[in-house]
Structure 1
Amino acid sequence: MVNKIWLALILIGFIFAVLKGDINTVTKAAFDGAATGVTVSFGLISVLVFWLGIMRLAEDSGLVKVISRVLGPVVSFLFPDVPKNHPAMGYILSNMSANLLGLGNAATPMGIRAMQELQELNPDKETASPAMCTLLALNTASITLIPTTLIAIRLNFHSANATEIVGSTLLATAVATAAAIVADRWYRRRSIRRTLPPSSPPTLSLKR
């Protein structure tokens, strides 16, 4: 569906350019955008490699395990229907740890593996389970301590102070995460209420 939307936007842009007789401007903008995309991608490589290396050092030094132990009770609260020793828990913890450091590229494969493991626990394979919805919400609105990717983009475009967004990003992602958790709790309770059997009406006994 997203591909169709992008294709429609591109076609609409070219159609209007032809109607206005300004096709050269659209063509130049398309090539300039492609060149900018390649430049930004190369600029991100060094920063992402650096932070992925830091993530690997954190794993080898045991820092990730420490973070996992700290986040363990939180994850158990957020995912009450997932057994503590299930492999999905490890992938969820790794996903959350990577998101905390702003490493979206490192968090994505962990999130995919967590979803695959949660699908194994899902009794209805055609519908996302509550745990899968929770993971999707947290991964989308994850609190970020260090917005690594954004800092890399700002550095690539020669920002005077690339790290000035750390405070605002932390505040915004904290609010987003809190909203995601509140919405998740509300929908979980609503789902539980729907699955509960209706209580039988009280009966009146008539004594003669």
Structure 2
Amino acid sequence: MTRLWRDMRAILASLLLLPVLAGCDRLPVAGSGPQVGDYRPEEAGTVDHALCLLGFTGVPMRELASGHHIVDVTLNGRPGTFVLDTGANATVIHAGYETDFGLAEGGRVGGAVGLGGAMEARQVGIDDFAIGPVPVRLRRIMVTDLGQIATMLAPMAGGSVHGIVGQDAMKAHRAVIDVSRSLVHLIPEDRDPAPVPAERCRTDASE
């Protein structure tokens, strides 16, 4: 790694601290934890209901004191916590957790852009990936060092932050993000939004 690249990484990491520090004046009180989205597709006249009728499934996110949103994921059948990052071109896992999720060593070397700016990464195959209850059509994931990001966000998340959900996953499932209510809506199937039976959006169908 060149000196210029190391200097750029240091600058980008310091810039990442700005939104984290800006959120310090609204840190939650002890025991309150991240704010969790409330998904109610059965309520007629709501955005949740309207999107549900078009085939979307809402996945609650958790808003951290920094303003970042995290979601529960499953990677290779194992649960994890990822940051939702609309600025990341690819879904990435922190290299420190690759063995925990059964990822193979090696892989094709490439690059990714996200919370920490441009970064060196390698691409590896995966068996399955899901955001909440929605299976995601990803067959490969990027692996890189997200140590600084993971370390800064973990205390606010109340546990480990394992990676980043990027644009590749969001585009594949037509993601609609409701930031104010901490929800991300995804279409499970590979299709455009289209009407679905109203029964799908009843309370018992969404539980």
Q: TM (normalized to structure 1)?
A: 0.27
Greater strand share, 1 or 2?
Answer: 2
Q: TM (normalized to structure 2)?
A: 0.27
Greater helix share, 1 or 2?
Answer: 1
